[in-house]
């Protein structure tokens, strides 16, 4: 029975992909990096440092990181919102006494700004950011860290995300893997990684929980 749910942030709870894409485009333009049809967007879910090294190289990744943080911060409030139904879903889960948390590859500072800005933080028992582990998604370490801080077992826990990295991380951690079709990757792409469930809207999560409860009866 699912008692603990961990969430990815961008593309899952936060409708922030337009902001991320706009920010990357500005950084690529300023650094004269070829946009290449937005290949960088497929890397969302990985740490920004790793993305910077991939596209700007070892010598320029620090500049890449700094520029991204600057542009992202400027338009954060204007371009960050929750996906439809997110706040209602979180309130429903809270009323059901589920334990909730965020596991993201963003920095803790930026993640806390987003969750605090939207009021998501009041529902979360834990937030794991990029600084909290040495190995990141698709490795299981961030999920393990969250479960450790919450003092709950992997059994009865689920991780929800919008990218293949999220599904891979959940499977490696031994928790229920749940994909969402409204974020970075389309549903068909996520299904290739065989998540336990795929959500097309937040109301589907309630059906998953009800089905999970029935299986235990």
Across 67-103, b (16+ Cβ under 10 Å) vs e yields bbbebbeeebeebbbbbeebbebbebbeeeebbbbbb
Of 25, 59, 79, the residue at which a domain comes to its end is: 79
pLDDT in tens, 183-210: 999 999 999 999 999 999 999 999 999 8
Same-domain check for residues 64 and 95: no
Same-domain check for residues 208 and 126: yes
pLDDT in tens, 85-98: 999 999 999 999 99
Nearest by Cα to 44 from 59, 33, 55: 55
Same-domain check for residues 58 and 160: no
Q: Read off the pLDDT of each residue in 138-151 and give the average, rounded to a whole number.
A: 98
Cα within 13 Å of Cα(177), Cβ side: 22
Beta strands in 31-142 (DSSP E): 99-103, 126-128
Catalytic, 212? Answer no
In the chain, the number of structural domains is 2
Instruction: Give the separation between CA 119 and CA 203, rounded to whole angstroms.
Output: 20
Domain CATH number, residue 209: 3.40.50.1000
Same-domain check for residues 128 and 163: yes
Q: Which of 8, 10, 15, 162 is catalytic?
A: 8
Same-domain check for residues 45 and 134: no
Same-domain check for residues 104 and 60: no
Of 55, 79, 103, the residue at which a domain comes to its end is: 79
Q: Three-state DSSP class for 210?
A: helix
Specify the pTM: 0.93
Of 79, 102, 132, the residue at which a domain comes to its end is: 79
Asked if 150 and 167 touch (Cβ cutoff 8 Å), the reply is no
pLDDT in tens, 28-56: 999 999 999 999 999 998 999 999 999 99
Q: Which domain holds residue 24?
A: 17-79
Instruction: Give the separation between CA 116 and CA 110, rounded to whole angstroms.
Output: 10
State residue 211's pLDDT score.
81
């Amino acid at each position: 029975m699912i008692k603990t749910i961990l969430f990815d942030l961008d593309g899952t709870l936060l409708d922030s992909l337009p902001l991320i894409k706009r920010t990357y485009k500005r950084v690529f333009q300023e650094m004269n990096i070829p946009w290449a049809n937005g290949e960088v967007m497929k890397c969302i879910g990985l740490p920004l440092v790793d993305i910077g090294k991939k596209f700007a190289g070892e010598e320029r990744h620090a500049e890449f990181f700094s520029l991204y943080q600057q542009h992202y911060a400027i338009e954060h409030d204007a371009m960050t919102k929750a996906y439809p139904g997110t706040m209602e879903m979180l309130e429903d889960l809270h009323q059901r006494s589920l334990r909730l948390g965020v596991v993201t590859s963003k920095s803790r500072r930026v993640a806390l700004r987003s969750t605090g800005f939207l009021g998501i933080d009041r529902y979360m028992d834990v937030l794991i950011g990029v600084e909290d582990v040495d190995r990141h998604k698709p490795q299981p370490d961030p999920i393990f860290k969250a479960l450790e801080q919450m003092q709950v077992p992997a059994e009865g826990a689920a991780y929800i995300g919008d990218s293949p990295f999220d599904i891979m991380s959940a499977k490696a951690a031994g928790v229920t893997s749940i994909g969402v079709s409204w974020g970075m990757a389309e549903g068909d792409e996520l299904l290739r990684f065989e998540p336990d469930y795929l959500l097309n809207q937040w109301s589907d999560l309630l059906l998953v929980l009800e089905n999970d409860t029935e299986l235990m009866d």
